[in-house]
């Protein structure tokens, strides 16, 4: 009987020791990881996409020695090793990178605290003397590299599609990246980020022409519910409202980013709200 109790005691002690071992001598205390709380979730809730607006060397200089940073940098021409593209990790995911600045999405602000930032080397845009912008496309290798990286990040952190967004989405009054040529639809087809279902957009269009003016207050309300929480709720097409609508259009309707509230923009926003927030709007 005593032998059995002794063996049980030895087993219990040895079992505990498997939970209390690594680095205990370095810490000065024992850490038992055998019990895990169910009351927890991922700290990272957003994936933010940027362009650098400068070339490779300046991008790396700014992001490693300047006052801004990002978790990852995708070069203009990603190197491939054994058929796999090389991504530069500049900040560990467990640490906060300084990429979002003053920012809001949904009920959260200071998005640096809850996000992973990816910078892509891209010139962004140039303007002519009349103020007309020429945007620069992303290469196929950059898009491919981004798709692999983003899919991995989203999967590991359980980031929902509507929280895979651009810098212009979280800071529409200040930022325009990643711009209207960024392949949001292609990424969504690969399971990365949000995109509206075409049949739902048509449902909300209800036969209206795409460019038919829409209610400013309606679009302000819908965009606020979707995530653009700082858009005014005044019913007035002021500077802030137009810039926010333009940012939404850059993401989901890039062929026209004028910031005008039209039937197509409203219908896309309603389709997204239904698909990702479960909120069905009235058709008209």
The yes-or-no answer to whether 46-189 and 198-276 have a common fold is no
Q: What is the total residue count of the chain? A: 284
The H or E element that residue 80 is part of is strand 80-81
Q: Where are the domains of the chain?
A: 46-189, 198-276
pLDDT at 10 (0 to 100): 45
CA 38/CA 83 separation, integer angstroms: 40
Return the structure tokens found at 34: 């055998």
Contact 111, 170 (CB under 8 A): yes
pLDDT over 80 (residue 9): no
Structure confidence at residue 25 as a pLDDT band (50, 70, 90): low
Structure confidence at residue 41 as a pLDDT band (50, 70, 90): confident
Tens digits of residue pLDDT in 201-224: 999 999 999 999 999 999 999 999
Selecting among 119, 162, 264, 266, the annotated active-site residue is 119
Among 70, 64, 66, 67, CA closest to 50:
70
pLDDT over 90 (residue 6): no
CATH entry, 46-189, from 3.40.30.10, 3.30.428.10, 3.30.479.20, 3.40.80.10: 3.40.80.10
Residue with the larger pLDDT of the pair 65 and 14: 65
CA 88/CA 34 separation, integer angstroms: 35
- Please confirm, yes or no, whether 79 is among the known catalytic residues: no
Range 198-276 has CATH code 1.10.101.10 = yes
pLDDT over 80 (residue 129): yes
Pairing verdict, β 104-105 and 88-89 = unpaired
Structure confidence at residue 283 as a pLDDT band (50, 70, 90): confident
Contact 90, 97 (CB under 8 A): yes
């Amino acid at each position: 009987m005593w032998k059995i109790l002794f063996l049980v005691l030895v087993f219990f002690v040895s079992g505990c020791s498997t939970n209390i071992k690594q680095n205990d001598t370095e810490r000065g205390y024992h850490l038992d990881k055998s019990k895990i709380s169910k009351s927890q979730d991922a700290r990272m809730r957003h994936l933010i996409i940027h362009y650098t607006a400068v070339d490779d060397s300046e991008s790396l200089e700014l992001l490693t020695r300047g006052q801004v940073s990002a978790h990852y940098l995708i070069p203009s021409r990603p190197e491939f090793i054994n058929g796999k593209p090389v991504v530069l990790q500049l900040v560990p995911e467990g640490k906060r990178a300084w990429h979002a600045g003053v920012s809001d999405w949904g009920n959260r602000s200071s998005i640096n605290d809850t996000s992973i930032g990816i910078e892509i080397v891209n010139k962004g845009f140039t303007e002519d003397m009349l103020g007309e912008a020429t945007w620069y496309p992303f290469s196929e290798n950059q898009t491919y590299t981004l798709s692999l990286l983003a899919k991995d990040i989203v999967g590991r952190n359980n980031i929902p599609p509507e929280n895979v967004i651009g810098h212009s989405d979280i800071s529409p009054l200040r930022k325009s990246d990643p711009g209207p040529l960024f392949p949001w639809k292609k990424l969504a087809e690969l399971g990365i980020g949000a995109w509206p279902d075409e049949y739902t957009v048509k449902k909300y269009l209800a036969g209206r022409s795409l460019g038919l003016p829409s209610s400013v207050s309606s679009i302000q309300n819908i965009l606020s519910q979707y995530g653009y929480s700082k858009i005014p709720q005044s019913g007035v097409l002021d500077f802030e409202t137009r810039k926010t609508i333009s940012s939404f259009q850059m993401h989901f309707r890039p062929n026209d980013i004028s910031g005008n509230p039209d039937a197509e923009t409203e219908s896309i926003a309603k389709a997204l709200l239904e698909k990702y927030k479960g909120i069905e709007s009235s058709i008209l």
